[in-house]
A and B are shown apart, each in its own frame.
Chain A
């Protein structure tokens, strides 16, 4: 089954709020070797002008991939999860995600391109907090075709 090319332009409903916690920021920072004290020490974060501890720049993928799950799980899309490979990733940040943020994600399907049996799907997740844009995460996923 191949990826549905008619899905370009589809916009999924906003997700339930994801609440960014200091504990998750610490866990994520440790997992990617981010040693800056602003990830774990509220005083260090405030000294840099932030309200509370801030997330590393790629933390947003955690929320974006939960949004992508709507698309991967959508039976109309025809995606076999075990054949999905991450091809490309872009973040545009308006400000760092901060502990206490209640983040809502809206997933857009921007492009579907089939090349040599592989489908390249570009999804964009717009993350907002209280209506203000905080991050745009764009992912290109390669859905590998079945080998002949």
Chain B
């Protein structure tokens, strides 16, 4: 069993280990099925273009979910997330042939030693542009 991270061992400015995620169409279809979000802009490029998008784009919630996975593995218990918020500020465009690369990361922005609440700002960047904006999670550590 993995140990749960302790608030006493965490300091403002600490970085979460970065993860580079290669996103392809198959992953979006899988997320569409898992989440029941079957909007065709996430898997049908003809439809995506017909509504003014450059190509198929990933679900915003796919990226928010992938960033949460980075966070919960760092915490050691996926049930410790008390609050998680983000703005969706840029799309992850997923071309058929190449897919897309999303760099996920996180940084501790606040630690409350009394409540053991730790705030982490998560990031997701695709082609140098932010995908998530002000992505803040509050986790309760040991």
Range class of the B interface residue count: 35 or more
Residue B37 at the A interface, CB < 8 A?
yes
Contacts of A10 in B (CB 8 A): none
What is the number of contacts between chain A and chain B, taking CB atoms within 8 Å?
118
B128 at the interface (CB under 8 A from A): no
Binds A, one of B8-16, B77-85, B92-100, B109-117: B77-85
A73 in the interface, Cβ–Cβ < 8 Å? no
Asked whether, in the complex, the Cβ of A65 is within 8 Å of the Cβ of B37, the reply is: yes
Cβ–Cβ < 8 Å partners of B4 in chain A: 48
Checking A39, A66, A88, A147 against B87 with a beta-carbon cut-off of 8 angstroms, the contacting residue is A88
Compute how far the CA of A96 lies from the CA of B51 in the bound complex, rounded to whole angstroms.
Answer: 36
- Are the CB atoms of A34 and B68 closer together than 8 Å? yes
- 1/0 per residue A81-98: CB within 8 Å of B? 111011111111101100
Q: Give the residue name and chain of the A residue nearest to B28 (CB).
A: A31
The 6 closest A-B pairs by CB, nearest first: A32-B65, A96-B79, A31-B34, A90-B85, A34-B69, A57-B81
